[in-house]
Copies of this chain bind each other. A is one copy, B any other.
Amino acid sequence: MMMAMSPPASLENGLESFLAEAIRLGRDTMRAGEGGPFGALIVRKGEVLARGWNQVTSRNDPTAHAEMVAIREACRRVGDFRLAGCTLYVSCEPCPMCLAACYWAGIERIVYAADRQDAARIGFADAVIYEEVRLPPPARKIVMEQAGREAALAVFTEWEGMAEKVLY
């Protein structure tokens, strides 16, 4: 007897169309020469707040990954540095830069299509950077040195004592 297969839960309830749009956006902007084959949408309560696509090479901005562009645009649109209640739909698993940006922005859910190994197979460094980030600083390929800590801590102490600061 054959079992009827139900679709994966993550493809139900409109997920598929947002994710499909992110993938198409990456494809179309790649074809237009904007950058790598990556697209992203920020969605809140079924509304698309922002769209982003890779523009690293066309804008000479190594931080202009699809997710970063979308996060910055969504924040501009809502006038807040937090994106509570938002989902990121993205054509590929976010690299550590974009993933950490999601934490800073308070994004609650990420739906991604390809993953870091798929990106590695077409020449992108995402998987390598994930390995580097987890290493202790002295073990990384980038030379890292710590110095002058006491001077920085004096500023941190001043920050702690400020009454009117905005926390993030």
Chain A: residues with CB nearer than 8 A to chain B? Answer: 8, 10-11, 15-16, 19-20, 23, 26-27, 30-31, 33, 35-37, 56-57, 59-63, 68, 71-72, 75-76, 79-83, 91-93, 95-115, 118-119, 121-123, 125, 128-130, 132-134, 137, 142-149, 151-153, 155-160, 162, 164-168
| A113 touches which of B31, B81, B151 (Cβ 8 Å) | B151
| A62 touches which of B101, B143, B146 (Cβ 8 Å) | B101
Cα distance A147–B10 in the bound complex, in angstroms: 6
Residues on B with C-beta less than 8 A from A168 are 35-36, 56-57, 62
Contact B158 A30 (CB under 8 A): yes
Q: Give 3 closest A-B pairs by Cβ, nearest first.
A: A113-B152, A97-B100, A114-B152
A17 to chain B, nearest CB (A): 10
| A95 touches which of B100, B122, B145 (Cβ 8 Å) | B100
Residues on B with C-beta less than 8 A from A97 are 96-98, 100-101, 104
| Chain copies in complex | 2
Contact B110 A37 (CB under 8 A): no
Contact A99 B63 (CB under 8 A): no
